[in-house]
Amino acid sequence: MARLSQRMVALGTARSEIREAFAFAQARAAVVGPENVDDFSIGNPSVPAPPSVAETIHRLVDEIDPVALHGYTPAQGAPDVRQALAEDLNGRFGTSYDKDCLYLTVGAAASLCCCLSAMGCEGDEFITFAPYFPEYKVFVESAGGKLIAVPADIEDFQIDFAAFEQALSPNTKAVIINTPNNPTGVVYSRKTVEKLGRMLEDKSREYGHTIYLISDEPYREISYADEPLPWVPSYYANTLICYSYSKSLSLPGQRIGYVLVPRTVEDFDLVYAAIAGAGRALGYVCAPALFQLVAARCAGQTADISIYKKNRDVLLNALREMGYTCAQPDGAFYLFPRTPEPDAKAFCEKAKAYDLVLVPGDSFGCPGHVRISYCVPTEQILRALPKFRKLADDYGL
Ligand code: PLP
């Protein structure tokens, strides 16, 4: 038998529960017809990219010499692209970043892997907050670290600071946050981010080393909150931002994003160099050249997120009216209601009997809840409401 990495064999063999649910929906659709299956399993944007994306691609293909257009760029991304992205951020957040603060990547997943590999040393712990994006565990362990998940505050999914304090230790290398959040849709308040920043400053001082904050922000622009989202580096100097255009511009298959390293980060030059080194070691080479240019020209724009907001309103209001409990989801395109029985997997099995496909919260480190991805046509939501109602009735809500 081939001598292979057993860890990689296991990662390549085991399907995530999200993929399992999606595969179930596809299989059922083939039997009963897609119009009878309501699949809320996957976070693939349902709103098309804004028209400016296609226009930009056409213009770039027409105007730029193909050898240059499709060629390698510097590993960190084309300088003019990085400058344009820095200026877009400066215009929106009142910051003063420059091209050398940005390292372009193949999406937020790669941004996270670069940051984690840049930092991960033997014995390092990385803390995150349940419920969390399941790939964090894979990425952290690949970087040689250990993921510690702080239990959720299920009332509002802000941070439980007492539980967080217990999770911190002299081995803590970094803390990963994700706001707006997958799977809850919750947006961290300014108060939460402020308190987190203060606590990380105190603990960095106490332990005598910097604790980095990795802010995973692929949903940054998908916010329905009244207030603008807090700009995390304004509250903690040692913040690295992992961003991507997968969700904001509906370009998940094109793989384009960045790591932002503000100059306030301690040992800025070394940190940036380590991220570049991680990109090299992971074999990313450079981010896709065409989509670097698309990002530069379309930065600051978004797909039509009013469609997600409408979906959120329709589904959230209906579920609450049926008796489901759900923390206020002011961003991304997910709801994370409590399941009427503690066993979320059993609840999802009952939903499947109605061809209603949901993902148990266990996959995100938070049992007793279910994730509903509402990046689907609004008609699907309207069609699925009677199924949610039947389930509510089955549980006597
Ligand atoms: N982080 C979170 C919280 C996500 O939900 C996702 C994708 O769904 C990612 C990172 C990875 O995004 P990307 O497509 O940019 O790699």
Strand order across the beta sheet in which 102-105 lies: 102-105, 257-260, 239-244, 212-216, 172-178, 125-129, 146-150
Tokens 């505050």, residue located:
153
| pTM confidence score | 0.97
321 CA → ligand 1 middle, Å: 31
71 CA → ligand 1 middle, Å: 26
Q: How confident is the model over 327-363, as pLDDT tens digits?
A: 999 999 999 999 999 999 999 999 999 999 999 999 9
62 CA → ligand 1 middle, Å: 31
Nearest residue (CA) to ligand 1, atom 2? 133
Give yes or no for a contact between 60 and 289, defined as CB atoms under 8 angstroms apart. Answer: no
Atom of ligand 1 nearest to the CA of 245: 15
| Pocket residue to mutate for ligand 1, from 106, 112, 116, 133, most atoms within 8 A of Cβ | 133
Distance CA 397, CA 368 (A): 16
So what's the pLDDT on residue 16?
87
Tokens 């003019």, residue located:
80
Is pLDDT at 392 greater than 90 in this prediction?
Answer: yes
Distance CA 35, CA 32 (A): 8
Nearest residue (CA) to ligand 1, atom 12? 108
Q: How confident is the model over 310-326, as pLDDT tens digits?
A: 999 999 999 999 999 99
CA separation, residue 257 to residues 42, 86, 251, 289 (Å): 20, 13, 10, 12
What are the tokens at 340?
């009427």
So what's the pLDDT on residue 1?
81
Mean pLDDT of 169-184: 98
269 CA → ligand 1 middle, Å: 26
Alpha carbon dihedral 183, 188, 192, 193, in 10-degree steps, equals 110
Q: How confident is the model over 99-115, as pLDDT tens digits?
A: 999 999 999 999 999 99
So what's the pLDDT on residue 364?
97
Atom of ligand 1 nearest to the CA of 216: 1
108 CA → ligand 1 middle, Å: 5
So what's the pLDDT on residue 189?
96
pLDDT category of residue 15 using cuts at 50, 70 and 90 = confident
**Mean pLDDT over each residue of the chain, to the nearest integer:** 97
Parallel/antiparallel/unpaired status of strands 370-373 and 334-335: antiparallel
What lines the ligand 1 site, CB under 6 Å? 43, 107-109, 133, 178, 182, 216, 218, 244, 246, 252, 257
249 CA → ligand 1 middle, Å: 13
392 CA → ligand 1 middle, Å: 31
